[in-house]
Structure 1
Amino acid sequence: MTAITTVVTIAEILKNSGFALEKMVATSTVGMKDETKGRMVQKAKIEIVMGKTENFDSLMTATEKH
C-alpha cells in the first residue's frame, strides 16, 4: 500500500464516519533524489484538507465511552 492510498483511505473513513468534511484535495508531483541511482525522479504528492463536522465533539465523546 502506498502512502497516498493510506491517506485517501483514512480521509474516506473520517468522512464516512461523520467525523470530518473534505475541504480541498490537491495533487501534484515533486522532484526527489533517488538515492540508489543518484538522479532526480518525479513522485506523486497529495494534499487533503479536512475540517471537523458540527457533531465531531459528540461523536468523540460517544467513542471515548466505549
Structure 2
Amino acid sequence: MILQRYMQMHNEVELSALGMAIATVVTVAEILKNNGLAVEKKIMTSTVDVNDESRGRPMQKAKIEIVLGKTENFDELMAAAAEEREVAAAEDGEEQG
C-alpha cells in the first residue's frame, strides 16, 4: 500500500477528506490502526465552503483530518509483510515453472 511506504519514510501522515469521502478515510485509518501499523495522534472535524456548480452557489461540506503516527513495531511489521510477499512470489514462481 502506498500509504504504508509513505509512513516508512515519515513518522506521521495526515489524511483528510470532504463529504462522502470521509467514510473512506476513516476506514483506511482504522485498517492501519487494527493492523498495528499506526496510532491516532489527532482528529479534527470542520465544515468548509465549497462552490456547487450545479446549484450556482456555495454550500458547506463536512471535512475530517486525521493525523496518524507510526507504532513502535511498525518497521518490524513491514519487514515481516515484505518477507511474506517474497515467499509467496517464490512459491508462485515454482508453481508456474
TM > 0.5: yes
**4+ long deviations beyond 6 Å:** none
Unaligned runs of 5+ in 2: 1-19, 85-97
1:64 CA displacement: 0.9
Q: Percent identity?
A: 65
TM-fit CA distance, 1:35: 0.8
1:65 aligned partner = 83
Q: Number of aligned pairs?
A: 65
TM-score between both structures, scaled by the size of structure 2: 0.65
- Relative to total residues, which structure has the larger helix share, 1 or 2? 2
- Specify every segment of 5 or more residues in structure 1 that has no aligned partner in the other structure, as ranges: none
Q: How big is the alpha-carbon RMSD for the aligned residues of Structure 1 and Structure 2?
A: 0.6
Structure (1 or 2) with the greater strand fraction: 1
TM-score by length of 1: 0.95
> Which structure has the larger Rg over C-alpha atoms?
2
Deviation digits for residues 8-59 of structure 1 (CA, Å, limit 9, x no counterpart): 0010111111000000000000000001111000000000001000100000
- Matched with 2:23 is 5
Q: Does residue 22 of the first structure (1) align with residue 44 of the second (2)? A: no
